[in-house]
C-alpha cells in the first residue's frame, strides 16, 4: 500500500509541476521524471515533444475560394487568406439568417471589420487611418460577398 501511495503522490506532484511550468510561461518541452514509481529507472522518453499550431497560411484549394481571395487582394485587402474566407463565410451565413436591414447596414460591417481589420494596424499607420482602411475593407468584402461569393 505504501508503494501505491508513493506512486500516487509522485504522479500528482509531477503533474502539478508540468502544469505549472506550462501555465507560467515555461518551456513547451518539459523534462519527465527518470525514476519509476517503484524506485527503479524508467524506460520511457525523458522529454515531451513541443507542439506547434497548424499553419493557417496555406493557399485556398477550392477554386471559388481562390478566386474570391484574389479579387479581394486586387481591391487592396491585406488580411490573410483564411481571415478573408472566414469573414466571407460569416457574411453569407449572416445574410441568410438575418434579413434585418439595420443588422446588415450597422452590425455586420462592424463584425467584419473586427474580423479583418487587425491586418491594418502597425507599420506606422495611425489608429484613425487604420480604422478608416479597415472600414473600407469590410465594405468591399461585404459587397463582393453579396454579389459573388454567397451566390456561387
Confidence tier at 46 by pLDDT (50, 70, 90) = low
Mean pLDDT confidence for 138-145 = 96
pLDDT at position 23, please?
A: 47
pLDDT at position 19, please?
A: 44
Q: What are phi and psi of 35, to 5 degrees?
A: -110, 130
- Taking 60 as the threshold, does the pLDDT of residue 14 lie above it? no
Residue of 33, 51, 30, 49 whose CA lies nearest to 41: 33
Helix (H) or strand (E) holding 115: helix 108-116
Confidence tier at 79 by pLDDT (50, 70, 90) = very high
Amino acid at each position: 500500500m505504501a508503494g501505491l501511495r508513493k506512486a500516487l503522490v509522485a504522479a500528482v506532484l509531477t503533474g502539478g509541476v508540468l502544469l505549472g511550468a506550462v501555465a507560467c510561461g515555461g518551456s513547451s518541452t518539459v523534462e519527465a521524471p527518470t525514476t519509476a514509481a517503484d524506485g527503479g529507472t524508467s524506460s520511457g522518453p525523458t522529454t515531451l515533444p513541443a507542439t506547434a499550431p497548424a499553419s493557417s497560411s496555406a493557399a485556398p484549394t477550392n477554386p471559388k475560394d481562390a478566386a474570391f481571395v484574389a479579387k479581394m487582394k486586387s481591391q487592396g485587402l491585406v488580411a490573410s487568406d483564411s481571415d478573408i474566407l472566414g469573414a466571407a463565410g460569416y457574411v453569407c451565413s449572416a445574410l441568410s439568417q438575418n434579413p434585418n436591414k439595420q443588422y446588415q447596414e450597422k452590425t455586420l460591417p462592424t463584425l467584419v471589420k473586427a474580423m479583418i481589420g487587425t491586418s491594418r494596424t502597425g507599420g506606422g499607420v495611425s489608429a484613425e487611418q487604420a480604422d478608416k482602411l479597415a472600414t473600407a475593407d469590410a465594405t468591399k468584402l461585404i459587397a463582393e460577398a453579396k454579389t459573388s461569393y454567397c451566390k456561387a
